[in-house]
Amino acid sequence: MTDRIGFIGLGNMGGRMTRRIVDGGVPVLGFDMNRAAVEGAGATLADSGTDLLGATDVVFLSLPDSKVVEKVVLGDEGFIRSLRPGMIVVDLSTAAPSSTHKIHARLAEVGVDYLDAGISGGAAAAEKGTLTLMVGGDAAALERVQPVLAHFATNVFHMGASGAGHSTKLLNNFLNAVSLAATAEVMVAAKKAGLDLSTVLDVLNSSSGVNFATLNRFPKIIHGDYLKGGLTNALMMKDVVLYVDHLHELGISSLNAPGPLASFGLANALGYRDEISNTVVDAIGDVSGHIRLHEPREEGLTE
């Protein structure tokens, strides 16, 4: 028997992943407060979250943070009552592992597997179906949902028990934040120094300073393409805070957190909160003499 698929939260990432599943020939029952998002992703609209649960076997969640996930899963007993033994809930959100443990334990009481599946790759990879997933939870449950995951992910890693996927996601996102913020600062300095930015990137990408931002982001940014559609500055800041909280729980000193906290905090304060996190380079440029890496500046970004 083929599992019936449900998807709750069809926003920036959820909608793209749903579209990949639907285009792969698998029907999806979707629920989101934005009805148009469900229809736009090609899913069938469920009247409510509980109706969706009653008509599906595997349910994916793609929600903003742990508070929202807990509100959806634990805040309304109707969600728990609508679950059936043997169902699988896959949480694709970026969430606190401590919250993940709590939800996993509660769903286990009613015979439901809860997989925490951190994702990496952003909107572009979601559209191409080339996301990387890091998953915590039961290995057999992961194997069961693997055919569905294959529609939007090319790399799926089983990281261990409940919480391991979300923990790995926070560690990865922190390194992403560090490299983006640090490279933004370097590129603003290079511009101020009068260096040719394309050549600077060639040097970095052939040297020890190479990172994801130098390889994949700044070759576009220096020409005014900010690769819109990905993680916003507000969400990046949220992820870094989650990382710091997680390290506090683990008893690890987060010595390198001040840099990205300051950089993305600055971007949020200067009005770039809802812009893609790549615009952190403009926030740094704003306080460095209104420096821009490219001319003319792309329309539509915050002055």
What's the chain's average pLDDT? 95
Which pLDDT score, from 0 to 100, does residue 52 have? 96
Q: Could you give the number of structural domains in the chain?
A: 2
Residue 300 placed within a domain:
no
| CATH number of the domain encompassing residue 190 | 1.10.1040.10
**Structural domain containing residue 184:** 167-286
Start-to-end CA distance of the chain, whole Å, equals: 55
Phi, then psi, of 192 in degrees rounded to 5: -65, -30
Tens-place pLDDT, residues 263-272: 999 999 999 9
- Report the pLDDT averaged over residues 155-175: 97
Least confident of 103-117, 224-238, 259-273, 275-289: 224-238
**Based on the domain organization, do 118 and 28 belong to the same domain?**
yes
**Is pLDDT of 296 > 80?**
no
**Based on the domain organization, do 46 and 81 belong to the same domain?**
yes
- Report the pLDDT averaged over residues 210-224: 97
Domain finish residue from 161, 191, 224:
161
Which pLDDT score, from 0 to 100, does residue 294 have? 92
Tens-place pLDDT, residues 99-140: 999 999 999 999 999 999 999 998 889 999 999 999 999 999
**Is pLDDT of 303 > 70?**
no
Residue 94 placed within a domain:
yes
**Based on the domain organization, do 150 and 235 belong to the same domain?**
no
Tell me if the bond preceding 85 is cis, omega within 30° of 0: no
**Based on the domain organization, do 241 and 270 belong to the same domain?**
yes
Tens-place pLDDT, residues 79-90: 999 999 999 999
Residue 177 placed within a domain:
yes
Residues 112-115: contacts with CB within 8 Å, 24+ apart? 112/83, 112/84, 112/85, 112/86, 112/87, 112/88, 113/87, 113/88, 113/89, 113/137, 113/138, 113/141, 114/88, 114/89, 114/162, 115/88, 115/89, 115/90, 115/91, 115/141, 115/142, 115/145, 115/165
Which pLDDT score, from 0 to 100, does residue 246 have? 96
Domain finish residue from 161, 186, 205:
161
| CATH number of the domain encompassing residue 109 | 3.40.50.720
What is the model's pTM? 0.91
Which pLDDT score, from 0 to 100, does residue 76 have? 76
Does residue 169 have an active-site annotation?
yes
**Based on the domain organization, do 68 and 153 belong to the same domain?**
yes
Catalytic residue among 71, 102, 128, 169: 169
